[in-house]
Amino acid sequence: MTEYTPAVYGTGVKATIQRVGGHLAGMIMPNIGAFIAWGLITALFIPTGWLPNEDFAKLVDPIIKALLPVLIGYTGGRMVHGQRGAVVGAVATMGVVVGADIPMFLGAMIIGPLAAFVIKLVDGFVQQRTRAGFEMLVDNFTAGIAGAGMALLGMWGIGPIVRVVTDAAGEAVEWLIGNSLLPLASVLIEPAKVLFLNNAINHGVLGPLGVAEAVKHGKSILFMLESNPGPGLGLLLAYLFFGPRSLRPSTPAAMIIHFLGGIHEIYFPYVLMKPRLILAVIAGGAAGAFTFLITGAGLVATPSPGSIFVYLAVTPKGGWFGVLAGVVIATAASFAVAAVLLGFGRKSGDDETPADETPESQPAPQEA
Amino acid sequence: MADIETTDIRKIVVACDAGMGSSVMLASQLRKQLKGLGIEVQHTPVNSIPADADVVVCHKGLADRARKTAPDTVLIPITIFIGDPAVTRLVTTIKNGGTVHG
């Protein structure tokens, strides 16, 4: 496998960044089902939705502003200190939730684990000093007191700070959108993505910012920057036609898993084994983002997994054109650049020159 | 580098970043291939590989993190998610008996 092994691979710094990012994504991803539920309710029942319904639409606000942050804080707490950490984390998250009128995802990602860490320290201190028979009393009250205290801290201390940070980040994003600079984000996003920072970027950074925007404007383009399945599909299509012979048979299955199943990890190895192809997915990502930008496309919630089905499910009414256009154009751009970089089969790394025959006959509807 | 006899393998853990996507897919493939051999195949996030894992399978890009969470466990790094030679070798070794080298 020498040919497929990139030279420098896996430094300590990268693993550390991955680990921190993994913790951020780890607070969000177990709760994606709740996000989808909210996305469906929103897309259906808000006044501009498919089936406007005033009563059902009352669910929208409490879920996004209270339930989802509390779930994040709960999960973050559980990662630090099990069930007790989860409970204290959830209580503490209510502090940042009540103190703010925006969805406090970032706040929850900070205070949930922090509160759990506090009760972990308290437990370590108190448990050896507790007399037999008083464990339950002490455990319940330490958790209650720590939770209450952290909720107050969240409301007065952490909430306002996170608010300022979120507002500043939101303004920076709007400036990027206003100046049509958002496609440049692909230059950072795509390489980070194939280094397995995909979840960290999408769920740790873009998701929380996107939710703030979606609540304000009903949709957000930020959900689509990392999760667009187009660039990966274009790359796999290029591999199908012009890649090394040995890899061609596996690409149709990879395409299905990637584009329909939404597991993007499946295409990362195809980039990592020929690193210059990163240019292809960057081009695809940027072309897609640009298309989303000029068509005013957006999604109501994080599409996770990044499957075309999820994309269509969380597209607001009337938004399918821009969304599909962005995915198709991203696919085409990525395919075109990857095809050139693979030399249309001549630089594929094979010993024999494949020119005349193409063994696979997988239909390729997306290449424009 | 740890080694393990195939007869000692009780639990194989497939790890990925979130423990929800690629690892689930690979784990279900492995489970099918190892059916009837009494080996449990589990999928987890790479940050929380359980201590009773005998063999860990994960992508090379995550191998550093897997080594940190499970330093003494046999680690099989893979390159691609479908039809990776290292996975095929693992399955063949388990079926024929022998030693798995981490």
* ipTM for the predicted complex: 0.74
At a CB cut-off of 8 Å and minimum separation 6, what does A136 contact? none
Q: Does the CB of B38 have a partner CB in chain A at under 8 Å?
A: no
B35 compared with A3, residue with greater pLDDT = B35
Q: Does the CB of B21 have a partner CB in chain A at under 8 Å?
A: yes
Does pLDDT of A108 surpass 80?
Answer: yes
Q: Report the b/e string of A82-102 with b at 16+ CB within 10 A.
A: eebbbbbbbbbbbbbbebbeb
Average pLDDT over residues A260-276: 89
CB contact under 8 A, B82 and A195: no
The residues pairing with B16 across neighbouring beta strands, listed in sequence order, are B45
pLDDT, tens digit, for every residue of A147-176?
Answer: 999 999 999 988 888 888 878 887 888 888
Residue A194 lies in a domain: yes
DSSP-based three-state secondary structure for B90: helix
Residue A110 lies in a domain: no
Residue A108 lies in a domain: no
Rounded alpha-carbon distances, angstroms, from residue A181 to A185, A286, A289, A294: 8, 10, 10, 12
Residue A112 lies in a domain: no
Q: Does the CB of B80 have a partner CB in chain A at under 8 Å?
A: yes
Confidence band (pLDDT; 50, 70, 90) for A29?
Answer: confident
Active site residue B16: yes
Q: Are strands B55-59 and B74-78 parallel, antiparallel or unpaired?
A: parallel
Q: What is the structure's pLDDT at A364?
A: 40
Task: Kindly report the nearest CA distance between residue B88 and chain A, in angstroms.
Answer: 14
Query: Which domains, from first to last, does chain B contain?
Result: 3-101 (3.40.50.2300)
Does pLDDT of A324 surpass 50?
Answer: yes
| The model's pTM | 0.76
CB contact under 8 A, A22 and B46: yes
**Which of A19, A264, A272 comes nearest B61 by C-beta?**
A272
Please give the mean pLDDT across all residues of chain A.
85
Q: Which residue is closest to A255 within chain B, CA to CA? A: B82
Nearest to A219 by CA among A134, A299, A113: A299
**Contact indicator for A367, A331 with CB cutoff of 8 Å:** yes
What count of CB pairs under 8 Å joins A to B? 86
In chain A, residues with a C-beta closer than 8 Å to the C-beta of B63 are: 10
Average pLDDT over residues A265-277: 89
Q: What is the structure's pLDDT at A357?
A: 38
Residue A65 lies in a domain: no
Residue A127 lies in a domain: no
Q: Does the CB of B37 have a partner CB in chain A at under 8 Å?
A: no
pLDDT, tens digit, for every residue of B43-98?
Answer: 998 888 988 999 999 998 888 888 888 888 999 999 888 888 899 999 999 888 88
**Which of A25, A30, A263 comes nearest B22 by C-beta?**
A263
CB contact under 8 A, A23 and B16: no
Residue A252 lies in a domain: yes
Q: What is the structure's pLDDT at A212?
A: 83
Task: Kindly report the nearest CA distance between residue B12 and chain A, in angstroms.
Answer: 20
Return the HEC string of chain A.
Answer: CHHHCCCCCCCHHHHHHHHHHHHHHHHHHHHHHHHHHHHHHHHHHCCCCCCCCHHHHCCHHHHHHHHHHHHHHHHHHHHHHHHHHHHHHHHHHHHHHHCCCCCCHHHHHHHHHHHHHHHHHHHHHHHHHCCCCCHHHHHHHHHHHHHHHHHHHHHHHHHHHHHHHHHHHHHHHHHHHHCCCHHHHHHHHHHHHHHHHHHHHHHHHHHHHHHHHHHHHCCECCHHHHHCCHHHHHHHHHHHHHCCHHHHHHHHHHHHHHHHCCCHHHHHHHHHCCHHHHHHHHHHHHHHHHHHHHHCCCECCCCCCCCHHHHHHCCCCCCHHHHHHHHHHHHHHHHHHHHHHCHHHCCCCCCCCCCCCCCCCCCCCCCC
CA–CA gap between residue A17 and residue A97 (Å, rounded): 28
**Which of A4, A15, A25 comes nearest B65 by C-beta?**
A15
Q: Are strands B11-16 and B3-5 parallel, antiparallel or unpaired?
A: unpaired
Average pLDDT over residues B33-41: 89
CB contact under 8 A, A199 and B81: no
Confidence band (pLDDT; 50, 70, 90) for A237?
Answer: very high
Q: What is the structure's pLDDT at A11?
A: 55
**Which of A15, A253, A305 comes nearest B21 by C-beta?**
A305
Q: Which helix (H) or strand (E) holds B68?
A: helix B63-69
Residue range(s) defining the domain that contains residue A297: 183-368
Q: What is the structure's pLDDT at A352?
A: 41
Q: Which of A19, A75, A307 would best serve as a mutation to test chain B binding (most B beta carbons within 10 A)?
A: A19
Of B13, B15, B16, B76, catalytic: B16
Residue A235 lies in a domain: yes
Total domain count, chain A: 1
